[in-house]
């Protein structure tokens, strides 16, 4: 990953219909995001 990171935060994936979602603050609307799924 070579992009500059603005912020890093942890959120839980929650159910949404037949898939899942991760909520993000409104200020990030229109920004590009990465989701990294960790095996625990």
CA 7 to chain centre: 11
On whether the CB atoms of residues 21 and 12 are closer than 8 A, the answer is no
φ and ψ of 21, to 5 deg: -145, 155
Q: How far apart are CA 27 and CA 40, in angstroms?
A: 30
| pLDDT band, residue 1 (cuts 50/70/90) | low
Indicate the pTM of the whole model.
0.60
Contact 25, 37 (CB under 8 A): no
DSSP label of 29: T
Predicted confidence at residue 3, as pLDDT, reads 81
For 2-27, the pLDDT digits (tens) are 788 888 888 999 999 999 999 998 99
pLDDT value of residue 2: 79
């Amino acid at each position: 990953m070579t992009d500059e990171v603005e912020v890093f935060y942890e959120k839980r994936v929650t159910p949404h219909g037949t898939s899942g979602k991760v909520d993000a603050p409104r200020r990030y609307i229109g920004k590009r995001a990465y989701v990294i799924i960790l095996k625990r």
